[in-house]
Amino acid sequence: MVRLIFAVLLFAVCFACSGKKDETKFTLRQRSTHELPGFKGVSVQVTDIEMMEIDHVRVLENNKELAGTLDMHLNDTLPVMLGGKKYSLKLERIEHHITSDDFGHFILTPAE
């Protein structure tokens, strides 16, 4: 029993650490603006989320638009400069709910 618990804990730790260290994952509710994790004063704003796209995605720094796009679809990327470095904001997944809010799942990674 102790071995099984140890194996499960080891798997959980390895799985949690398996992601890229330089990527930031976050989720936004439709028609909302939230600060970008790890970047003070920088926020991401999304409008309506449909089945397969988000109508408008904007990256703001102190309420000034740094980057924006219309009709962002699954796996689309938006290039953005943050702190003098190039990043890529990718729409990884859309959660579409019929009777409640929809959500967009994003990944921010340094551009290659």
What pTM was estimated for this model as a whole? 0.77
How many C-beta atoms lie closer than 10 Å to residue 54's C-beta?
Answer: 24
How does pLDDT run across 10-27, given as a tens digit for each residue? Answer: 333 333 444 556 899 999
Strand order in the sheet with 64-73: 32-35, 42-46, 53-61, 64-73
Residue 62 to residue 48: CA distance in whole angstroms: 22
How does pLDDT run across 73-98, given as a tens digit for each residue? Answer: 999 999 999 989 999 999 999 998 88
pLDDT at site 20: 58
Residue 4 to residue 18: CA distance in whole angstroms: 21
| Residue that has been written with the tokens 């099984």 in this structure | 4
How does pLDDT run across 51-67, given as a tens digit for each residue? Answer: 889 999 999 999 999 99
Domains of the chain: 22-110 (2.60.98.40)
